[in-house]
Chains A and B, each alone.
Chain A
């Protein structure tokens, strides 16, 4: 059977943001940070000049995972938590495509936590963008792995009581080679980080602070808390991890870059089916 045609990649000039919009109206609440991420992605793809048909957006389940439906690119809207696995298979099969995985903190760090760790470790060339709003929004407001311990919810009156997950620290510890943080309220700055992450020749993890105005109205204040002051730690995982441990979670920019090589695409065929079948032959 013939395998997939490999496309020639293009750098197309003259693309505009609208070229990347599907025209579908998002289900997101007014004021949701994810609109900023959508805009940031559109800016970034215009800057990069990769046309929609060369891009695949892969996602899981949750508010933010609806994003592929709002763009004109190819997309894979899979099951909850498994976006990185699907993206891994896709990128290995089709290194010619630009694979961008998107989702939320519940999808990526809770149900999909294991895949997050192993995607960092595996270092396959893709951007993983997590819209972190510290809440399960689609199910109407339960604490996520990044929620503060004292955040009060209907399911956890008085707070969940457990320390939040530090995705930046975990990514660094698990072997990610590009770790950055952006803010949904800053689509241009976010677009620059997205471009850097896409261009990065390996697994690029981009945590985006994306406020949930509906269930976490206090996140509206993130606008005043974020700082464009991240100083990228180059190649020193211990130093980067130490910085991630003391960081308040609001410094924006590239936080860590490593030098480990990305997984190589499959090699060309060097054998044949006939040669493989001969091993079973006995007595000639």
Chain B
């Protein structure tokens, strides 16, 4: 009987093409109407380190990491010891490797998987030819894996053309031959990895990474300016964005550092262009002073933090959800801002677009907390992403008067922000404590009035239905965010199937805590658990501090970089 999902590993040393193998497989799966997600596991070395593509393949939408992997394709064994511990295998797993790669290393063999040996290159190639030209074992493996999983050869060929078609004719001919050899080799292996066809055949699919999805959301939201500095794992977001933003008439600028990035963003935004910066934890630390300026001077800005393991430099290439504290509270003084997080790879589009609208409408920095697991996961998603209702900056300066008051205190805490160049409304964006006209003052009354004005703006923010999502109905609730949503949902599905009905409350808005909709979502809950990937329970403490969850709520908090696996969550709760 065909299974409903399959988990695969394509592993090799950096440069072996393991990622390309995973990409080929995933694209062919998307073409065939399946769902899936690929995450990347790699070390600090730019070339020659360990690398593995972890692929989940299913006939329904899937984003969580599996408890264990069904099949492990080793393109070579060179660096496998460096990540073997992070890829769970067992005796039901199958390991497929080339005999020329040598014996299965102990780090893999200790799980006692079934081992299969397959010659992954053209057997007619001479040793010299193999040394001179790539063996293209990765393309072979993609053909083999795809065919074993039940993907039609035509889809694999089309995926090859889409992914590597830009290469020279000679290279493509060799790739095509390697793919055909892989497809043929499947028949000689006694292994049934077929996944049942998806029902019903869905409409077209998108293949997108979380980082690309935030970039796309930002473009949908009208971002015109990006200031950024390279940092793993956020750089691929801006690499995707740069040519596209320019093609739409916007501007991306590579700043000299993160301090410049965020200040450039504030400058461009002051000029009237919706603006964004993209970074990871170390960059966010550097940006906190200017985020405070954005709060005080009331300048819209989107700050995307693709979280990685911290503190300090931490693990640049691996995930963690430990920047919540700095995102919510980072900056001196009272500097309230909006912090939101995507619920899935596909939701990065919605959350990214919405971030721009919220920043513009509230005239304040909005921090989007993505993470490496979501950001660098490539997922097959249904093509339609929910689009939030557009909101705009209040640029109308109002009736011309004696002196324009940029920071006027009225019943509406969102004051008027006319664009520079508007005659009669000249104002100064001011980071010093200022009066309503924007002039620096050091008196108590203006200080308190402006602090209150800005706090009220955040307190009154109504996210509507975009506050978060509730999945399921059980009286056990898992509250979580970001990349922990997917494993929480899978754990809830299993718990519910085994008699402990469990719901997942996924928060898109992390700050200010959406107290009312959260209270409604918690109705009927007898046991609540806050799930997050950091040591100190940052979300748990934040929710408790806001009295948004009962004191009896439990916390499952552990650091990254290992993703939560559903079995880990169910064992905590069951």
Contact = CB atoms under 8 A, between A and B. Distances in A.
A1 B270 contact: no
Interface stretch (A77-85, A156-164, A177-185): A77-85
B247 A271 contact: yes
B289 interface: yes
Contacts of A24: 439
B424 A89 contact: no
B222 A1 contact: yes
B246 interface: yes
Interface stretch (B256-264, B322-330, B543-551, B560-568): B256-264
Contacts of B263: 78-79, 82, 85-86, 89
B393 to A, nearest CB: 8
B225 A89 contact: yes
Given A3-B272, A4-B271, A284-B204, A94 B421 contact: yes
B290 A79 contact: yes
A282 B356 CA distance: 27
Contact of B289 (A79, A85, A271, A280): A79
A86 B266 contact: yes
A115 B260 contact: yes
B224 A74 contact: no
A3 B222 contact: yes
Interface in B179-222: 204-208, 212, 216, 219-222
A96 interface: yes
Interface string B250-291: 110101110111011111111111110000000000000110
B247 A53 contact: no
A23 B293 CA distance: 25
B55 interface: no
Contacts of B205: 281-283
B390 A282 contact: no
A96 B421 contact: yes
Contacts of B206: 280-282
A236 to B, nearest CB: 27
B33 interface: yes
A283 B204 contact: yes
Nearest to A271: B247
B419 interface: yes
B417 to A, nearest CB: 11
A53 B427 CA distance: 9
B30 A77 contact: no
Interface stretch (A33-41, A64-72, A144-152): A64-72
A139 interface: no
Interface string B148-192: 000000010010001000000000000000000000000000000
Contacts of A266: 246, 249-251
Interface stretch (B134-142, B428-436, B493-501): B428-436
A231 interface: no
B452 interface: no
A114 B289 CA distance: 17
A171 interface: no
A165 B272 CA distance: 36
B270 A76 contact: yes
A91 to B, nearest CB: 8
B523 interface: no
Interface string A9-22: 00000000000000
Interface residues of B, number: 77
B440 A92 contact: no
Contact of B204 (A1, A3, A89, A281): A281
B467 to A, nearest CB: 22
A24 B427 CA distance: 13
Contacts of B264: 85-86, 88-89, 92
A85 B277 CA distance: 13
A58 B273 contact: no
Contacts of B289: 79
B210 to A, nearest CB: 13
A277 interface: yes
Nearest to A24: B439
Interface in A224-281: 266-273, 276-277, 280-281
B251 A93 contact: yes
Interface in B381-416: 383, 390, 392
B86 interface: no
Contacts of A81: 259
A58 B428 CA distance: 9
Contacts of B318: none
B275 A89 contact: yes
A79 B293 contact: yes
Size category of the binding interface on chain A: 35 or more
B255 A85 contact: yes
Interface in B1-53: 27, 30-33
A54 interface: yes
Contact of B225 (A78, A92, A282): A92
Given A94-B420, A281-B206, A89 B266 contact: yes
B466 interface: no
Given A93-B225, A93-B251, A282-B31, A53 B422 contact: yes
A85 B259 contact: yes
B423 interface: yes
Nearest to B257: A114
Contact of A93 (B259, B271, B297): B271
B272 A94 contact: yes
Contact of B251 (A57, A73, A92, A118): A92
B429 A4 contact: no
A94 B251 CA distance: 11
Nearest to B247: A271
A207 B525 CA distance: 67
B247 A90 contact: no
B227 interface: yes
B244 interface: yes
Given A271-B247, A283-B33, A93 B275 contact: yes
B426 interface: yes
A97 interface: yes
Nearest to A269: B249
B431 A7 contact: no
B528 to A, nearest CB: 37
Given A4-B419, A5-B421, A74 B428 contact: yes
Contacts of B244: 271, 276
A197 interface: no
Contact of A5 (B265, B419, B425): B419
B519 interface: no
Contacts of A66: 440
B125 interface: no
B529 interface: no
19 contacts: A1-B221, A1-B357, A4-B271, A69-B430, A72-B426, A76-B428, A78-B263, A79-B290, A79-B293, A85-B227, A85-B263, A86-B270, A89-B267, A89-B275, A92-B253, A92-B268, A271-B248, A281-B205, A282-B204
Ranked 8 nearest A-B pairs via Cβ: A4-B272, A1-B222, A89-B267, A75-B428, A89-B264, A86-B267, A85-B263, A89-B268
Given A76-B428, A282-B205, 19 more contacts: A3-B222, A5-B419, A52-B426, A78-B266, A78-B267, A85-B264, A86-B270, A89-B264, A89-B268, A90-B420, A92-B264, A93-B273, A94-B420, A115-B256, A115-B259, A276-B219, A280-B383, A283-B31, A283-B158
Interface of A: 1-7, 24, 51-54, 56-58, 66, 68-69, 72-79, 81-82, 85-94, 96-97, 114-115, 117-118, 266-273, 276-277, 280-284
Interface of B: 27, 30-33, 155, 158, 162, 204-208, 212, 216, 219-222, 224-225, 227, 244, 246-251, 253, 255-257, 259-261, 263-275, 289-290, 292-293, 297, 356-357, 360, 380, 383, 390, 392, 419-432, 439-440
